Structure 1
Amino acid sequence: MDVDLLEHAESAPVRLPREARKALMSVAHGRVDIRATADPDRVVLVTGSWVGAISVPGLTLRIRPSAPMENLFTMFSAGIPGEGWGSDQIGWSSDADLVDGVAAFVLRSIDEATRRGLLHGYVSVEEDLNLIRGRLLVEQLATRPWAIAQPPCRYDDFTANIPENKLLRCAVRQVLTWPTLPPVVRRDGLRLLARFDGVDDTDARAHRDKIPVTRLNEHYGPSMDLARMALDGVAIRHMEGDQSAHTFLVDMDDLFRRWVTTEISQRLWPEIVVDEQPEHSLDVHDQLQFTPDMLLRRGSRAVLVGDVVYHLGSTPSGPSTDYFPLLTYASALGLGAGMLVYAQADEPPAPEMVVRSIGTRLISVPLRLSVPPARLAGSLDTLAELVRAVAAGALAPAR
């Protein structure tokens, strides 16, 4: 059975066998809500911000974003250097399968980063050798003196088997696990995987910590971001017997936040620096921490705090309450304004609200993703100018 849904939508009741329901609950937890109905054989599927596809025995669920495919790739390519990254270069039409397009984009990014050769670095190695190399591990040798013919040594090896390449190889392998990849994408993935010969296979869970970007690996930076996104969205869960479940999903909340932060940062630098998700204390004793999506500062002085929300939901009593955390951030940082940037909303908030008694301004700015890419770029320019004006004090708090 094939079910096609938009993000933030729900299906009609779907008849789902018990094994399919079990597999779906295993891989879709936190990504798709599965609601029971009066009929025990039927469920309602409710989507959120995750888009892509889920394949379980008896069901393939495809979740389409409301944004056009070309704008989705525009968000993927934010911050990727070099030419040829425009959506028209990807080779996928606006009605192409999302999974195919995302898989091709991730593979192409990794290919671009490693085309001139894999990054090498020094890795500390301990092994028993016929000849002493590096430092002789006397302590280990003392516990097993019979191993003197092959003494244990520690040395630094200049190798491609480093964390950066392990991450990229893991992402390529995970992309290739999707069962219905087009032949051309699978062929490119297998060719790319061969480039990583000599790099260890690793589990996706080994790459939860972000690898610091330095002068030596900065050309890997965008590809590592995409690789980590692929690992977050691809899951393989083997069920009992030969049953298996697959997901290939992209979190639009996270993608939209990172894209907006990157685009605003590029437009405001060096006049204004944008810190992404900095951690600050709410109270004077540093007991309560908060993390806004972005904090804008001139030098060391904070000038504006902002949150980026892909979809503003609504509550039974009215519009979204996403601006309440923003008020907390602005108050704790001693700022006169906070800004909320969103792509879509059930009930759009007022463009500006002034908080009683304290005069803090809460500014809400929509950034529509349904427009052509050229207009989207213009919207980002306008947003950057508004941010600059607010940060300059043009919209000072009312008294």
Structure 2
Amino acid sequence: MTSVVSLVEHAPARSFRLPDAVGRALAAEKILEEAWPDPYESGAWRLRAGSKVGAVALTVPAGEGVMVRITPKVPVARLLFLIGYSSDPRGWRDGSVALAEHSELLPALAHAVERQIDRALRQGLLQGYRTTEESSHVVRGRLREAQQIRRRFGISLPVEVTFDEFTTDIAENRLLSSAVDRLLRLPGVPGAVRARLMHQRSRLADITPLVPGQTPPGWRPTRLNARYLPALHLAEAVLRGSSTEHLPGGLRMDGFLFDMNGVYEDFVCKALREAMRTHGGRSALQAQDIHMDESDSIRLRPDFVWYGDSGMPVIVADAKYKARRNRGFPNEDLYQMLAYCTALGLPEGHLVYAKGNAPHTSHRVRHAGTVLHQHAIDLDQQPTELLAEIGALARNMLHGSAMSLQGGHPLGAP
């Protein structure tokens, strides 16, 4: 029998009766923000979810299984939009699917993946060239001379060869096949969706799946695989977020989790980059080679830096999903942004929060004059409205930076 523990992202802690092995695993694996034995009830654990959302099943040998479901605060359809847009800002909206029938994350994700794979495969499996290296009794392609000498010591057969084969067993199809297999192993996928996933697996039956733990094969967008793109991005999200582990004591953990901190950060930075494209310059995400000190020993990594046409930094921003204080924004974020502005020589910096604790506010730093802006983005709105809000934020950033850098005049004005 499997009991269900239902939690909500960043909600207050609740008490649940759990096997001690499961409670210890939840605490050790950092699945939840907090997990500790309830001091007032024997056999119970106090659990509080943090920024990770999804579903995890923990199974005790010959004992009770526990399913932990963590629901995001944003609607599931909006979360999948954030993930999809981060993967492919220009193509995701055209490949979205209706998710109204699924209110939980894992069923909705499984449904979205199955629908996108179905669309991708309507014209048949994509074919391409795959480079293969093998030992063969027939010479084909090119002889690998160094391997032949090292492995065969002058023996003529078999020969070490490499050749390009035109096949359906390519990286794109392997990713789709592995994502389907992964979803079929996860608990909580509805029966109707599972049946459709089984159908997709039959269409991909001749494709070599990835070995658990194997790094997914690389691929790049081309004209030929354009119809695969939405499915490929979702398949990669499935493979990144899922895991299967065997823990001490024979406990098995199988699940799928998204970290909302990373999802929000990726979305904001990609959306800002898209909004800045029409203004020239270039954007750097997780900017490199920025140091706080003159000896370059203290490295800084702002989430987003926009460089103007001159190559000089103009805008710096950091995305923060959730403020940690009950009221207002945390002061430590301001200290971090001040360090970014000082290192980059900028008069302004921007912290972009998910709407929650406080509205937009600004602070002028005493004796320095640096202005630190704190913005709040409302995620609970339609994708077009959400992107429009990011676009307006980008324009405000550009205008404010232009005014500061040009002594009160818009960039390029006399």
With normalisation by structure 1, the TM-score equals 0.84
Counterpart Cα distance in 2 of 1:255 and 1:77? 10
Counterpart Cα distance in 2 of 1:198 and 1:107? 18
Cα gap change, 1:297 to 1:119, in 2 (>3 Å):
farther
1:166 aligns with 2:170: no
Counterpart Cα distance in 1 of 2:279 and 2:173? 35
Query: Paired residue for 1:278?
Result: 287
Provide the alpha-carbon RMSD of the alignment.
3.4
Q: Contact 2:187–2:255 at 8 Å: present in 1 too?
A: no
Structure 2 residues not aligned, in runs of 5+: 60-64, 409-414
Return the letter of the residue paired with 2:238. A
- 1:177-326 superposed matches below 5 A: 177-207=185-215, 211=218, 213=220, 215=222, 219=226, 223-238=231-246, 244-272=252-280, 273-282=282-291, 283-299=293-309, 300-314=311-325, 319-326=330-337
Q: Contact 1:265–1:274 at 8 Å: present in 2 too?
A: yes
1:8 aligns with 2:10: yes
1:92 aligns with 2:100: yes
Percent identity between the aligned chains? 25
Return the letter of the residue paired with 2:287. P
Query: Paired residue for 1:66?
Result: 73
1:382 aligns with 2:384: no
Query: Paired residue for 1:361?
Result: 371
Counterpart Cα distance in 1 of 2:42 and 2:405? 56
Counterpart Cα distance in 2 of 1:217 and 1:242? 46
Q: Contact 2:54–2:258 at 8 Å: present in 1 too?
A: yes
Secondary structure, aligned partner of 2:322: strand
Q: Contact 1:361–1:397 at 8 Å: present in 2 too?
A: no
Counterpart Cα distance in 2 of 1:68 and 1:332? 38
Of stretches 332-341 and 388-397 in structure 1, the one that deviates more from structure 2 is: 388-397
Secondary structure, aligned partner of 1:270: helix
Counterpart Cα distance in 1 of 2:191 and 2:132? 40
Counterpart Cα distance in 1 of 2:43 and 2:398? 55
Secondary structure, aligned partner of 2:14: coil
Counterpart Cα distance in 2 of 1:250 and 1:112? 25
Query: Paired residue for 1:126?
Result: 134
Counterpart Cα distance in 2 of 1:90 and 1:126? 45
Cα gap change, 1:393 to 1:280, in 2 (>3 Å):
farther
Return the letter of the residue paired with 1:233. G
TM-superposed CA distance for 1:388, in Å, is 2.6
- 1:334-373 superposed matches below 5 A: 334-345=345-356, 347-348=357-358, 351-373=361-383
Cα gap change, 1:149 to 1:3, in 2 (>3 Å):
closer
Q: Contact 1:51–1:64 at 8 Å: present in 2 too?
A: yes
TM-superposed CA distance for 1:317, in Å, is 12
How many residues were matched structurally? Answer: 392
Cα gap change, 1:12 to 1:306, in 2 (>3 Å):
same
- 1:17-36 superposed matches below 5 A: 17-25=19-27, 28-36=29-37
TM-superposed CA distance for 1:30, in Å, is 4.5
Matching residue within 100, 103, 126 for 2:110:
103
Return the letter of the residue paired with 2:17. R
Q: Contact 2:35–2:47 at 8 Å: present in 1 too?
A: yes
Q: Contact 2:245–2:253 at 8 Å: present in 1 too?
A: yes
Q: Contact 1:167–1:207 at 8 Å: present in 2 too?
A: no
TM-superposed CA distance for 1:112, in Å, is 4.2
Matching residue within 153, 156, 174 for 1:148:
156
Secondary structure, aligned partner of 1:370: coil
Secondary structure, aligned partner of 2:213: helix
Q: Contact 1:304–1:391 at 8 Å: present in 2 too?
A: yes
Cα gap change, 1:146 to 1:350, in 2 (>3 Å):
closer
Return the letter of the residue paired with 1:29. K
Return the letter of the residue paired with 1:251. D
TM-superposed CA distance for 1:160, in Å, is 4.3
**Structure 1 stretches of 4+ moved >6 Å:** 315-318, 395-398
Cα gap change, 1:69 to 1:153, in 2 (>3 Å):
closer
- 1:70-81 superposed matches below 5 A: 70-78=77-85, 79=89, 81=91
Q: Contact 1:343–1:368 at 8 Å: present in 2 too?
A: yes
Counterpart Cα distance in 2 of 1:279 and 1:112? 39
Q: Contact 1:31–1:47 at 8 Å: present in 2 too?
A: yes
